[in-house]
Amino acid sequence: MARKRIEAMLKTIDDIKLWDEFLGNVVGITSYGAFINIIPGVDGLLHISKVANKRINRVDEFLKLGDKIGVRVISLDKRDRKISLERVDI
């Protein structure tokens, strides 16, 4: 587990691949989702539809700034630096 964390800290956006999993930190909450910091300097969007296993109306009812959550990369556009995430149990 410690090895996984160290390897994640050394990654850059060029090292990220589809289906990679991370223990991320919630750094922003909007009406349409949450921004999750997956590695230093790289954030991804966890869309509101991916926050819970049911339909929710407000992201802030399930996530708070600073929460650590497991996420998986489901879409990746390195050129525009856009990463879409889904929630997973790590």
The C-alpha atoms of residue 78 and residue 59 are separated, in whole angstroms, by 26
Cross-strand pairs, 36 = 26, 44
Residue spans per domain, the chain: 2-88
Supply the mean pLDDT for the chain: 90
Q: Does residue 5 have a pLDDT over 90? A: no
Average pLDDT over residues 73-87: 91
Report CA-CA distances (Å) from 76 to 6, 22, 57: 22, 14, 26
pLDDT per residue as tens digits for the range 67-79 = 999 999 999 987 8
Task: Determine the CATH number of domain 2-88.
Answer: 2.40.50.140
Query: How far apart are the C-alpha atoms of 75 and 18, rounded to whole Å?
Result: 7
> What pLDDT sits at residue 8?
66
pTM: 0.85
**How would you class 22 by CB atoms within 10 Å of its CB: exposed for 0-12, middle for 13-18, buried for 19 or more?**
buried
CB contact at 8 A, 36 and 24? yes
